[in-house]
């Protein structure tokens, strides 16, 4: 599970340095701005005291793949290659109006159930991946905060 967590840096409102987005911070999350954040391609990372993590990665869409393409590629990788179970998925809308897609997964690691959410927004030039995860017993109390942060996502 350690290798799949994607976290992000939050303040009150966060702006990814040149990343083209802003997002409102979940209450009770702290910023994790370190070399690992940027070396793994994350624009932002944060964590709760209970180990629930969130992250935003921005990728160039230099091949101009559609949203359907990128959602299917991510879904396939997590299910086929990493053994995640897709528990639900739905279309979502960013605070700035762009349509995205959220997939919610479950996975057991060391006999413990984990939750992992991936929300994808695709423009002609960029792919924005908002991720959140943690042990299920710790993630469930933070669900509302995570949902609020994801719904506050704005593409500039």
* Cβ 112 vs Cβ 125: under 8 Å: no
Contact 115, 106 (CB under 8 A): yes
3-state secondary structure of 82: coil
Q: pTM score, two decimals?
A: 0.86
**Model confidence over 66-85: pLDDT tens digits?**
999 999 999 999 999 999 99
Q: What is the mean pLDDT of the chain?
A: 86
Lowest mean per-residue pLDDT among 31-35, 115-119, 125-129: 31-35
pLDDT at 147: 95
Exposure string (b/e) for 66-98, b if CB count within 10 Å is 16 or more?
A: ebeebbeebbeebeeeeebeeeeeeebebeeeb
d(Cα 22, Cα 93) in Å, to the nearest integer? 14
Residue 4: what pLDDT? 37
According to DSSP, the residues that pair with 90 across neighbouring strands are 102
Q: Give the span between the Cα atoms of 70 and 101, in whole angstroms.
A: 10
Q: pLDDT (tens digit, 9 = 90+) per residue, 31-52?
A: 887 665 665 778 888 999 999 9
pLDDT of residue 19: 72
Chain segment 142-156, per-residue pLDDT in tens:
999 999 999 999 999
Which residues neighbour 106 within 8 Å (Cβ) at sequence distance 6 or greater?
84, 85, 87, 113, 114, 115, 116, 136
pLDDT tens for each residue of 6-26: 333 333 344 444 579 999 878
CA distance 142 to 113: 16
């Amino acid at each position: 599970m350690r290798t799949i967590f994607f976290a992000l840096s939050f303040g009150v409102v966060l702006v990814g340095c040149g990343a083209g987005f802003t997002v409102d911070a979940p209450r009770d999350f702290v910023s994790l701005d370190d070399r690992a954040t940027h070396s793994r391609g994350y624009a932002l990372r944060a964590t709760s005291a209970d180990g629930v993590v969130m992250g935003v990665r921005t990728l160039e869409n230099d091949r101009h793949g559609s949203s359907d393409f990128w959602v299917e590629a991510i879904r396939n990788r997590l299910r086929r290659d990493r053994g995640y179970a897709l528990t639900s998925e739905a279309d979502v809308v960013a605070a700035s109006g762009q349509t995205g897609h959220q997939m919610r997964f479950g996975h057991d690691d060391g006999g413990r159930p984990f939750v992992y959410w991936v929300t994808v927004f695709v423009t002609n030039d960029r792919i924005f991946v908002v991720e959140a995860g943690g042990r299920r017993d710790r993630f469930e109390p933070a669900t509302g905060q995570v949902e609020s942060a994801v719904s506050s996502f704005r593409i500039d």
